[in-house]
Structure 1
């Protein structure tokens, strides 16, 4: 399975953040899980471009036709922020096993409970609309912040409405 970054890169990133993997953690496996999480949670928001290597490409990056702030992104670039986000997801998976692979079914979440005359209503982060990750995926504010500049706008732009041939 493919993964973003390297084991040495993960170790360097953790050290720079003042973090460390638990004893016995396998960096290569955690990078694979972290990479799979970031792609699964955020690739749906990369619909303004496509995988540079086509459908056979294992990871979401590199991408072809991607633009950030109106500037074209090189087709061989894997954004360092995307790599760092996968490192953060790997770390979260290491300290909380199952974090990156768990999910919630928004259709099965109790939103309101009533017992006798007492009624409570619950809200999730998804209700606030602040998470950029896919519905049902666990979300981390730091990862959201890392990948947000690379995600496609959900608003339609004039240059996406017309194709000149």
Structure 2
């Protein structure tokens, strides 16, 4: 499965942003990093992207049809530059901190309650069905880059109309 963008674009993006890949340890190839970054983008944001995939059999969440950003309908054959750049940012994160895009948790390792002196804090609990507790990593710059391409979860959508109050304005 190919990642968003291409190796030459990733290399140029690194340079344009003043980044360089680490040399110790040597990271995977640009193609592998791009794929990991793209997998992260699709897994974390895919269900919230505007519009719908062009073909139900396509490997990635983009391109999409029916996505309107800033009042303009995006072409259904284009992956927005922000999505490509966000995947490059995630790929870079994976290069400098291997495994950081994939969090694995265990119900047995989740701290439920901790008390230090008079302060008591409850951190997290496993789901009642026994599923593991894990926190999806959030890369704030990626979140910001993709914000215009995401559905507002505070709105109720009915066809092409939205009803109800919104905090997304």
- Compute the TM-score of the two structures, normalised by the length of structure 2: 0.76
Q: Is the 8 Å Cα contact of residues 105 and 136 (structure 1) preserved in structure 2?
A: no
Deviation at 1:109, TM superposition (A): 4.4
Deviation at 1:29, TM superposition (A): 0.4
2:39 is aligned with 1:36: yes
2:94 is aligned with 1:101: no
SS at match of 2:62: coil
- Runs (4 or more) in structure 1 with deviation over 4 Å come to 103-106
User: How many residue pairs get matched?
Assistant: 149
Deviation at 1:120, TM superposition (A): 3.3
Match of 1:60 in 2: 61
Between 1 and 2, higher relative CO (CA 8 Å, sep ≥ 6) is seen in 1
Any stretches of 5+ residues in structure 1 without a counterpart? Answer: 125-134
Cα 1:64–1:74 change in 2 (3 A) is same
Answer 1 or 2: which has greater helix percent: 1
Deviation at 1:34, TM superposition (A): 0.4
Deviation at 1:105, TM superposition (A): 7.0
- Compute the TM-score of the two structures, normalised by the length of structure 1: 0.78
Deviation at 1:158, TM superposition (A): 6.1
